Amino acid sequence: MMDYALLLRTFLLRTARYYPKKEIVSIYPEGVFRYTYREYYKRVCQLAHALKSLGIKRGDRVASVALNDNRHLELYFGVPCYGAVLHTVNFRLPQNHFVYIINHAEDRILFVDEDLLMFVEAAKDQLKTVERVVVLSHTGKMPQTSIKDIVLYDDLIKDFPEEYDFPADLNENDPAVICYTSATTGDPKGVVYSHRGLILHTYAVATTLGAAESDCILHIVPMFHANAWCAPFAAVILACKQILPGREVLNMEKLCRTIAEEKVTFTCGVPTVWMLLYDYLEKGGWHDFSTLRTIASGGSAVPRSLLVTFNEKYNFPIIQAYGATETTPMVTCALPKSYMKDWAKEDLYDVRSTVGIIAAGLEMKIVNNDGVEVKMDGKEWGEILLRGPWIANEYYKDPERSAVTFADGWYHTGDVGTIDEEGYVRLVDRTKDLVKSAGEWISSVDLENLIMSHPKVMEAAIIGVPHPKWQERPFACVTVVSGQSVTPDELKEFLKDKVKASWWIPDDFVFLPEIPKTSVGKFNKRELRRLYAEGQLMPPKAAN
Amino acid sequence: MMDYALLLRTFLLRTARYYPKKEIVSIYPEGVFRYTYREYYKRVCQLAHALKSLGIKRGDRVASVALNDNRHLELYFGVPCYGAVLHTVNFRLPQNHFVYIINHAEDRILFVDEDLLMFVEAAKDQLKTVERVVVLSHTGKMPQTSIKDIVLYDDLIKDFPEEYDFPADLNENDPAVICYTSATTGDPKGVVYSHRGLILHTYAVATTLGAAESDCILHIVPMFHANAWCAPFAAVILACKQILPGREVLNMEKLCRTIAEEKVTFTCGVPTVWMLLYDYLEKGGWHDFSTLRTIASGGSAVPRSLLVTFNEKYNFPIIQAYGATETTPMVTCALPKSYMKDWAKEDLYDVRSTVGIIAAGLEMKIVNNDGVEVKMDGKEWGEILLRGPWIANEYYKDPERSAVTFADGWYHTGDVGTIDEEGYVRLVDRTKDLVKSAGEWISSVDLENLIMSHPKVMEAAIIGVPHPKWQERPFACVTVVSGQSVTPDELKEFLKDKVKASWWIPDDFVFLPEIPKTSVGKFNKRELRRLYAEGQLMPPKAAN
């Protein structure tokens, strides 16, 4: 067979040439912007010329500090197809990390949304490698700024030719994108995505979830969060209509209107968003989900009760999936197998409340503390190890932490899980979030899900706290459904016949207005532990 | 990303481990044989041990002379995952070619179906490299034979362990399969398929045609004809239920029963088979196609009228596709784009009667005699050139013919086509089958399709024959629908307002009981030209 490299270029050209009429829709405060792949491609070509004019060389890093919109999508293909590397910056990080990742990636150009310029403005004196700041502006106006030599993106590219001869001689293992993931301790860690990895991941997404040209994909996940799970790459590769909701992504009414008006079929998101949506729907919010076919959910678990409600009450068919920034991210999807279609509803929800079965192309093993694979019995726990062509093999310029995580040719996920006889994986916990009580492990995730299945509970996060006698004990942080109230005793009573053993029941519950979250919407247990250590999480005395 | 090779092993292990209950169904004269992927995998492992015991080394070739059945499917994965190369021998070739390809591939072991042993028996003294003949027997009995040291496959493998440690250190570009394609002149040409090519092809098939775990795939295309279009690889990779119809593949009643009973959703085939099916259906043959979702057709064109009849009268939705042994084979598929769904029926059939749009992952250009790309206007003709990761880059050990066909990094298909503004390709002809009349080109394929749209015509093949004045003239060989008759004058009248110009109308028509076919079911125009040259194709005098 030909020695033909897997490059994004091939797919960009195919979509531009054979699907030029398909639409890209970008939602701005001023209104909805639409253009076709024909027009998109012209601007991607102009961008490539602009990168050349700025002296960007192959392999150079270029940063985006941007939301989900069409200009960001132009960077997604323009930068890698030119031969450079797009660094999708998470601007929600603390400022020291924001500065760190841009300096660490040695970004030469920084593309920033006009509404996010303050992040760059605040950090500008600490950015050591950025030579030029380019403003992605939807209003066409340059904001007030003290940054020198700044230019509007549209002005930068507008006079360049609308065709560009994208290089076909890149290596498929060349970097296309870099994205940082926050670490439990220390600086964020960079994950580099190759052309090959992005393309194989797209093929696997299409193969597993049936994503196709006929899909209309709504990008809810931020394009700086594991690159919106690389769905924008899949969408261009498959020539899908795509919707970029920009600033309006957490406006549930607008989101529901968009889904109906644009006939969205496919979307991805984290449970935090589904929680907001649930709240909106329960208040009678308008919606029409009849076009939706696939809703991939990852990042953390959707409680089973919510899965059922979404599916049955709202015709919103959530499919749980599992992955990480290090895995591009799709690893598993909880789609029932074809022969399960006649199974009883409850059994199907058992399947759908797992994180699913491994995608075709990857290898997984779940190993116990002795490195021995656990039985496929749905009971034995172990750490999930992965390998495959869209799994990272290192953290960028970070040999020390790479050596720990990518040992023996496997990615050690730090996730603890079980696998059942059908091959479905259930996440038990993060290795570091397991609670060790009297020498026995308690899964914080299992416990959280049990508590969240209480009708009055909105969210629940469990941390292990030191205990003089039992070593550690689970400690529950709970938010209550608005307008409701619940007591620790009620919750203890509720858990009694549900937990694996009575010593799983937390001694203490604290009720918070909200659970602190990480920049990507997960429970921030590090913050909860800090608050606990500082004595700020005191259980209500009355209930003890 | 990890340097993780794309190997069949990964996918075989995944299917065996996570989909062990899915079924493989093999149809024998004695009855239907069924087993699961769990049992399939055990025998594949035993086969690998047997190959080792026979001294087969990495890269060695091993031949199969076999039909579409479960033992052949075991070879499909057992041989490449072991690290050797499976040569799927076309036993319908003339004996000299049959001998040539086995000697040329230097096959060390030859696996042969008990019912095909006569081919090997007849050739055995000429086979220079075959050390051992193994009989794939469904009856369990060794047939009468003079071949020495012959052994039954089931006996060969039965005592080996049911687990094998398939090598993970193969290179993804290592050969997995070799298959020969007959040439217009000279010996057949070998095409080598790599692990990488087979896997990327499968991903593309899944992405383009939506093939998935839920599909039940019926293999109609012989497993020695471009490896049944590599659908058996796709079926195992995707963990599909699959049906291997063996000897019964051209028994239309049985085929229709099988489709209904096994709930077949996906199949592939050549128009010759659809013609037989059409005949069966028109005679009122029993059928129930309600489970069929995708029917890929390639090799030659399905006349538009037949496409309409199959679709509307029989709910048998044929999708035309294009490819060749050199292309694994999927290149294009004639699926309408999503925005065409509201188009008028006739316009949709216009789309569906093309060979389609190029699959995601390949590059195509159609160039005229000056090497300039033709316009996307559906009119300009040119030769189709292809490149991509599942396109061959040479003929095996044949540098001379390779240099002609695989020049400048492109595969020169020898097919002449047009491309319309939507990107759909229409085949006009083979470069060598175009008829040059008075300096102008006539497409034999267009002309054949026009003639075949006559209700009394079953098949029509056009060849160019020498003419003293016009250089060449089209000559029509026609078979008539059974029980019907038609005259040349009727056909000329019928063509009058349909052809592009009056000089397209053939001067002569000859009526044959059948059109000679190649071993893979295409019109054998070489044979027709030979018959014409020998004066054996005389038009009926009465009609002149």
Q: Which residues of A touch B14 (CB under 8 A)?
A: 358, 360, 362-363
* Side-chain-facing half-sphere of B265: CA atoms under 13 Å: 13
Alpha carbon of A382: minimum distance to chain B alpha carbons (Å): 18
- The angle formed by the CA atoms of residues A142, A147 and A153, to the nearest 5 degrees, is 45
- Do the Cβ atoms of A360 and B11 come within 8 Å? yes
The answer to whether the bond into B222 is cis (omega within 30° of 0) is: no
What single DSSP character describes residue B328?
A: S
Please report where in the chains the tokens 């913050």 appear, as a residue.
A527
Q: Which residues of B touch A2 (CB under 8 A)?
A: 387-389, 391-393, 409, 411
| A391–B203 CB contact, under 8 Å | no
Q: Considering A145, A181, A479, A518, which one is annotated as catalytic?
A: A181
Instruction: Return the closest-CA partner of residue B178 out of B79, B59, B86, B62.
Output: B86
Q: What residue in A sits closest to B409 (Cα-Cα)?
A: A2
Q: Please check the confidence at residue B498 and state whether its pLDDT lies above 70.
A: yes
Q: What is the mean pLDDT of residues A203-221?
A: 96
- Reading the block at residue B326, the tokens are 């050199």
Q: What is the mean pLDDT of chain B?
A: 95
Strands, DSSP E only, in A291-432? 294-297, 318-323, 330-333, 357-358, 363-367, 382-387, 411-419, 425-430
**Hey, what amino acid is at B460?**
A
Active site residue A185: no
Contacts of A238 in chain B (CB under 8 A): 207, 360
Task: Decide: B433 and B526 in contact? Cβ < 8 Å.
Answer: no
**pLDDT over 80 at A541, yes or no:** no
pLDDT reported for residue B542: 45
Whether A204 shows a pLDDT value over 70: the answer reads yes
Question: Sorting pLDDT into bands at 50, 70 and 90, what band is A186?
Answer: confident
Q: How far is B136 from chain A (nearest CA, A)?
A: 30
Is A163 assigned a catalytic role? no
pLDDT digits (tens, 9 = 90+) for A434-450: 898 887 888 898 899 89
Record: contact A360-B212, CB cut-off 8 A: no
For residue B144, the Cα-to-chain-centroid distance in whole angstroms is 32
Distances from the Cα of B163 to the Cα of B5, B8, B73, B83, B166, angstroms: 22, 16, 18, 16, 9
Question: Cα B351 to the chain's mean position, in Å?
Answer: 22
Which chain A residue is nearest to residue B213, measuring alpha carbons? A338
How far apart are the CA of B214 and the nearest CA of chain A, in angstroms? 5
Strand partners, B471: B437, B467
What confidence tens digit (pLDDT) does each residue in B289-337 have?
999 999 999 988 888 889 999 999 999 999 999 999 999 999 999 999 9
Residue in chain B nearest A328 by alpha carbon: B1
Nearest CA-CA distance, residue A194 and chain B, Å? 6
Nearest of B197, B172, B104, B107 to residue B395 by alpha carbon = B104
The residues spanned by each domain of chain A are 1-199, 433-543
> For B41-95, how does the pLDDT look when each residue is reduced to its tens digit (9 = 90+)?
999 999 999 999 999 999 999 999 999 999 999 999 999 999 999 999 999 999 9
| Residue among B14, B360, B411 minimizing CB distance to A237 | B360
Tell me what ipTM this predicted complex has.
Answer: 0.90
Determine whether the interchain pair B1/A339 forms a contact, defined as Cβ–Cβ distance below 8 Å. Answer: no
Q: For residue B222, which of B113, B135, B117 has the smallest C-alpha distance? A: B113
Q: How far apart are CA B365 and CA A10, in angstroms?
A: 13
Check A210 against B213: CB less than 8 A apart.
Answer: no
| Residue of A11, A239, A387 lying closest to B2 (CB–CB) | A387
> How far, in whole angstroms, is CA A474 from its chain's centroid?
27
CB within 8 Å: A1 and B361? no
Which chain B residue's Cα is nearest to A386?
B2
Q: Given CATH 3.40.50.12780, say whether it is the number of domain A1-199.
A: yes
Give the Cα separation of A198 and A9 in Å (integer). 12
Helix H or strand E encompassing B478: strand B471-480
Residues of chain B positioned with their CB less than 8 A from the CB of A391? 1-2, 4
Asked if pLDDT for residue A542 goes beyond 60, the answer is no
Most B CBs within 10 A among A2, A233, A421, hence the mutation to make, goes to: A2
Angle between helices A488-495 and A444-452 (to 10 degrees): 110
Phi, psi of B176 (to 5 degrees): -115, -40
Instruction: From residue B353, give the alpha-carbon distance in Å to each of B304, B350, B425, B523.
Output: 6, 5, 10, 19
Among all residues of chain B, which has the CA nearest to that of A22?
A: B339
Backbone φ and ψ for B461, nearest 5 degrees, come out as: -125, 135
Per residue in B186-198, pLDDT (tens digit) is 899 999 999 999 9
Q: Is A398 helix (H, G, I), strand (E, B) or coil?
A: coil
Q: Give A248's pLDDT tier (boundaries 50, 70, 90).
A: confident
Residue in B219, B241, B239, B246 with CA at minimum distance from that of residue B230: B219
Residues in contact with B241: Cβ distance below 8 Å, sequence separation at least 6, in sequence order? A338, B22, B23, B24, B25, B215, B216, B217, B262
Is residue B169 scored above 90 in pLDDT?
yes
- Residues of A55-87 as b/e, b for ≥16 C-beta within 10 angstroms? ebeeebbbbbbbbbbbbbbbbbbbbbbbbbbbb
B19, B239 contact by CB (below 8 A): yes
- Greatest mean pLDDT among A405-414, A509-518, B176-185: A405-414
> pLDDT band for position A228 (50/70/90)?
very high
Do residues A435 and A472 touch, judged by C-beta distance below 8 A?
yes
A240 to chain B: closest CA residue: B338
Report how far residue B251's alpha carbon sits from residue B259's, in angstroms, rounded to the nearest whole number: 12
* pLDDT band of B539, cuts 50, 70, 90: confident
Both structure tokens of A316: 């919103």
Residue of A1, A239, A423 with shortest CB distance to B391: A1
A429 vs A357: CA distance, rounded Å:
17
Interchain proximity B1–A393, CB inside 8 Å: yes
- Residues of B labelled catalytic: 181, 326, 436, 441
Instruction: Report strand pairing: A151-152 vs B330-333.
Output: unpaired
Grouping H, G, I as helix, E, B as strand and the rest as coil, residue B90 is coil
User: What would the mean pLDDT of B94-115 be, rounded to a whole number?
Assistant: 97
Q: Up-side HSE of residue B463: CA atoms within 13 Å toward CB? A: 19
Residue B543 has pLDDT above 50, yes or no: no
Q: Do A361 and B206 touch (CB under 8 A)?
A: no
Pick from A312, A322, A305, A309: which is nearest to A270 by CA? A322
Cβ partners under 8 Å of residue B474, min gap 6 = B435, B437, B442, B444, B447, B462, B463, B464, B465, B504, B505, B506, B507
In whole angstroms, how far apart are CA A510 and each of A436, A463, A478, B24? Answer: 20, 11, 6, 56
pLDDT over threshold 90, residue B184: no
Q: Domain A433-543 class? A: alpha beta
- Contact assignment for A358 to B238 by CB distance below 8 Å: no
Q: How far apart are CA B348 and CA B424, in angstroms?
A: 12
- Give me the sign of the Cα torsion angle A273, A209, A427, A232: negative
Residue pair A181/A188 in contact by the 8 Å Cβ criterion: yes
Site of tokens 């043959």 = B285
Residues of chain A contacting B13 with CB distance shorter than 8 Å: 363
Predicted confidence (pLDDT) per residue in B203-232, tens digit: 999 999 999 999 999 999 999 999 999 999
pLDDT at A544: 38
Using CB atoms within 10 Å of the CB of residue B74, give its burial: 0 to 12 exposed, 13 to 18 middle, 19+ buried: buried
Give first-to-last CA distance, chain B, whole Å.
71
Subunit contact B389:A338, Cβ cutoff 8 A: no
pLDDT tens-place string over residues A289-310: 999 999 999 988 888 889 999 9
Interface contact flag, A387 B11, Cβ < 8 Å:
no
Judging by DSSP bridges, how do beta strands A382-387 and A363-367 pair with one another? antiparallel
- The whole-number pLDDT of residue A540 equals 63
b/e A438-455 (16+ beta carbons within 10 angstroms → b)? eeeebbbbbbbbbbbbbe
Which of A198, A315, A235 has the alpha carbon at shortest distance from A70? A235
Which chain B residues are within 8 Å of A392, Cβ to Cβ? 1-2
pLDDT tens, residue by residue, A55-75:
999 999 999 999 999 999 999
Q: How many CA atoms lie within 13 A of B195 on its CB side?
A: 28
B8-18 helix and B70-82 helix, angle to the nearest 10 degrees: 130
Q: Could you tell me which residues come within 8 angstroms of residue A99 by beta carbon, excluding any fewer than 6 positions away?
A: A123, A126, A127
For residue A543, pLDDT beyond 70: no
Nearest chain B residue to A13 by CA distance is B363
The most confident of A409-423, A458-472, B459-473, by mean pLDDT: A409-423
Judge whether residue A136 has pLDDT over 80: yes
Q: Is the dihedral of CA B412, B413, B417, B421 positive or negative?
A: negative
CB burial of B399-432 (b: ≥16 within 10 Å; e: otherwise) equals eeebeebbeeebbbbbbbbbbbebbbbbbbbbee
Phi, psi of B241 (to 5 degrees): -65, 140
Question: Residue A439 — φ and ψ, nearest 5°?
Answer: 80, -5
Report pLDDT digits (tens) over A373-392. Answer: 999 999 999 999 999 999 99
With a cut of 90, say whether residue B182 has pLDDT above it: no
From residue B130, give the alpha-carbon distance in Å to each of A84, B124, B134, B155, B303.
52, 9, 11, 19, 43
Which pLDDT value is given to residue A386?
98
> What's the rounded Cα separation, in Å, for the pair B444 and A469?
90
